[in-house]
Structure 1
Amino acid sequence: MILPRRLIALACLVAALPVGARALDLPAGATLQVEISENGQAEIATSRFDGGVVPAITASGHVSRQAWRSPGQAEASYQILTSLRDQLREDGFQFLYQCQAVSCGGFDFRFQIGHFQAPDMFVDLGDYHFLSARKGETFAQVLVSQSAQDAFFELTFVTPSKEDAPVLSTTKATPTSLPQSTDPLEVQLAAIGRVVLSGLTFDTGSANLAEGEVPALAELAAFLTEDPERRIVLVGHTDAEGSLEGNVALSRKRAASVMQRLINRYGIDASQLSADGVGYLAPLAGNITAEGRELNRRVEAVLLNTD
């Protein structure tokens, strides 16, 4: 199996699947929980649960299954999926199917496709992500979910021979921050229910939103205009400098500034919007580095309904 030559890591630390000089990059600190490697067959899902079965391709060859755990990345399950998806795409894989828990078929899909069980592989039946892909006679399948603290992901590879199967290893280092998803705003809202609004600039310690066009706000405005029934709450976040009380107040004011910009500049109905803030209680990255603090200072849009 030919795996990607040059890939985007989720963090500085990489858990690698070396195949000769090639590797598939996994999240920072990921640890292998269990692995099964054997010749045989695997069902590769190609559509949602149809009420009876999960439509699938029966792939034959060397089947390699692994369950991985990524400590402290419970909020990163969708980013893990998109990172692996982007790496597979770079290597020429064609995608067969991608879904989220509800669109996959919930309980029935997970238990027909997932191979490992807790504690090796924890799956939140209301919040998991899946994709399958093919490159020639090589197949890849990814199932990602999370517990309250950690992310879990199950990888299945079917390759023509054992020699093509990945050999797994991990390397320890200090993780930094997660990359932002490159998916369109509406895709992120549909898949994980929230999106970071990039390009917002505030003065230090201020809730004043800088003037100028912000593509993310234009995209969010278009999303809301398309369906007047859609409701969004804007949630402000800060880094960990200063008191919790002060940061919560500042994060709320920044979210309110974004809401007013959407109303005043883009004509969004105020009934579709609300604003709140949580200060530094939901970081994306560590607050030790300047890079991490910058990532934590953000406003997110959270989708309240899909009807």
Structure 2
Amino acid sequence: MIQLRRLFAFACVVATLPFGAAALDLPAGARLQAEVSENGQVEIATSRFDGATVPAITAAGHVSRQAWRVPGQTGRSYQILTALREQLRQDGYRVLYQCQAVSCGGFDFRFQLGHFQSPDMFVDLADYHFLSARKDDSFAQILVSQSAQDAFFELTFVTPSEDSAPVPVTTEAAPTAAPQSSGPLDAQLQSAGYVVLSGLTFATGSAELANGDVPALSELANFLSADPTRRVVLVGHTDAEGSLDGNVALSRKRAASVMERLINGYGADAGQLSADGVGYLSPLAGNATAEGRELNRRVEAVLLNTE
């Protein structure tokens, strides 16, 4: 059986999924809410919602889905995801994509991913975690969220089956350069829901925003002042140098630095802004080159409402 890194209380609740030859240990008290097992195909997400769709690999074979509820575990969604991810890694899976609600694409990502609905599976659109992974021709997806009282997670596994066709796979190489933004900032926010703020400069390991005028921040401040009901979250991103925890903390500081500049330097209303960070979990470019790492050190503005 897979050995579990005990991030918090897990017990001998075992998922009866086709998880290789091993069993998947689940949180103590986890209760199975719903289950589907059939031959078919599943879209395995490999990147954030791009404004039109969720980039994905189409995997075919035996599809097993389960929805689980963990009473009294609200606030534990990230720990649940982390513990399950470590078990997958120990069994030979490699992570394809991991994100948190805002970095995934919010409602649009959730709308295209996930099988079960309430009451079997509850998803807070502002607070969920997602992971996809692959081991040879087997795939896994995990979606974790929480209500005010309980944690919920959905497990999806696709494994080759003797009576199914070979797994059709569509893969795309990791981009070496970020897609270029086009059009005014306000138009991008209202059409795609987010925009990379250009003109921000961060050195590796630093949360300090370089001095100087940043036209994108002026545009964003004007966008907010034009409608006091608009709400934007600033999401920081880093390159892949260093630990995940360190980069998440750094990305949050970068987002907070941009928020402070917007308020103190451009007169933005603090009540319309918030800041968060996801480290290196949502890259725009490969981290193998200096150019790619520079592109990944960024802050995005994500529009939380469109009315």
Shorter chain as denominator, the TM-score bin is 0.5 to 0.7
Taking structure 1 as reference, are residues 227 and 154 closer, same or farther at Cα in structure 2, changes over 3 Å only? closer
**Structure 1: segments with no counterpart, 5+ residues:** 164-181, 194-223, 232-303
Question: 1: CA distance between counterparts of 2:248 and 2:31?
Answer: 29
Question: 2: CA distance between counterparts of 1:28 and 1:111?
Answer: 29
- 1:7 equivalent in alignment to 2:35: no
Question: 1: CA distance between counterparts of 2:158 and 2:21?
Answer: 20
- One-letter amino acid matched to 2:125: L
Taking structure 1 as reference, are residues 22 and 55 closer, same or farther at Cα in structure 2, changes over 3 Å only? same
- 1:62 equivalent in alignment to 2:62: yes
The residue aligned with 1:187 is: 248
SS in 2 for 1:82: helix
The residue aligned with 1:85 is: 85
Question: 2: CA distance between counterparts of 1:79 and 1:159?
Answer: 26
Taking structure 1 as reference, are residues 56 and 162 closer, same or farther at Cα in structure 2, changes over 3 Å only? same
Q: How many residues align?
A: 183
Root-mean-square deviation (Å): 2.9
Question: 1: CA distance between counterparts of 2:30 and 2:42?
Answer: 24
Question: 2: CA distance between counterparts of 1:162 and 1:42?
Answer: 17
TM-score, scaled to structure 1: 0.54
In the TM superposition, residue 228 of structure 1 has moved relative to its aligned partner by 7.9
Taking structure 1 as reference, are residues 56 and 12 closer, same or farther at Cα in structure 2, changes over 3 Å only? closer
Taking structure 1 as reference, are residues 228 and 95 closer, same or farther at Cα in structure 2, changes over 3 Å only? closer
The residue aligned with 1:148 is: 148
Are the aligned partners of 2:27 and 2:70 in contact in 1 as well (CA < 8 Å)? yes
Taking structure 1 as reference, are residues 162 and 150 closer, same or farther at Cα in structure 2, changes over 3 Å only? farther
- One-letter amino acid matched to 2:245: P
The residue aligned with 1:107 is: 107
Taking structure 1 as reference, are residues 227 and 138 closer, same or farther at Cα in structure 2, changes over 3 Å only? closer
- 1:130 equivalent in alignment to 2:130: yes
- One-letter amino acid matched to 1:35: E
In the TM superposition, residue 90 of structure 1 has moved relative to its aligned partner by 1.1
Taking structure 1 as reference, are residues 184 and 120 closer, same or farther at Cα in structure 2, changes over 3 Å only? same
- 1:46 equivalent in alignment to 2:26: no
Taking structure 1 as reference, are residues 100 and 12 closer, same or farther at Cα in structure 2, changes over 3 Å only? closer
Taking structure 1 as reference, are residues 228 and 64 closer, same or farther at Cα in structure 2, changes over 3 Å only? closer
Question: 2: CA distance between counterparts of 1:32 and 1:7?
Answer: 20
Report percent identity of matched pairs: 67
- One-letter amino acid matched to 2:132: S
Spell out, residue by residue over 1:64-110, the C-alpha distance to the aligned partner (whole angstroms, 9 max, x if none).
00000000001100000010111111111111110110110110100
Are the aligned partners of 1:8 and 1:25 in contact in 2 as well (CA < 8 Å)? no
**Structure 2: segments with no counterpart, 5+ residues:** 164-242, 260-273, 277-298, 300-307
Are the aligned partners of 1:132 and 1:139 in contact in 2 as well (CA < 8 Å)? yes
- One-letter amino acid matched to 1:87: Q
Question: 2: CA distance between counterparts of 1:162 and 1:120?
Answer: 31
